[in-house]
């Protein structure tokens, strides 16, 4: 489930970055969300 959320968020960020500047609020927020999910996953597997 968590890996699915990570993949969905990654795809969302890629889509946003194709229509917005990489430093736009939308892309940065999506990136931060992805970072959080990846951190959760790393903590879970350790």
- What are the residue boundaries of the structural domains of the chain, listed by start? 2-45
| pLDDT given for residue 25 in this prediction | 98
| pLDDT given for residue 30 in this prediction | 98
State the 10-residue block means of pLDDT for the chain, 46 residues long. Answer: 97 98 98 98 93
| pLDDT given for residue 9 in this prediction | 98
Query: Could you tell me the pTM of the whole model?
Result: 0.90
- Alpha-carbon distance of 7 to 29, in angstroms, equals 16
Query: Cβ contacts of residue 37 below 8 Å, gap of 6+?
Result: 2, 5, 6, 9
């Amino acid at each position: 489930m968590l890996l699915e959320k990570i993949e969905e968020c990654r795809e969302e960020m890629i889509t946003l970055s194709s229509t917005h500047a990489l430093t736009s609020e939308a892309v940065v927020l999506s990136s931060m969300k992805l970072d959080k999910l990846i951190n959760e996953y790393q903590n879970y597997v350790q």
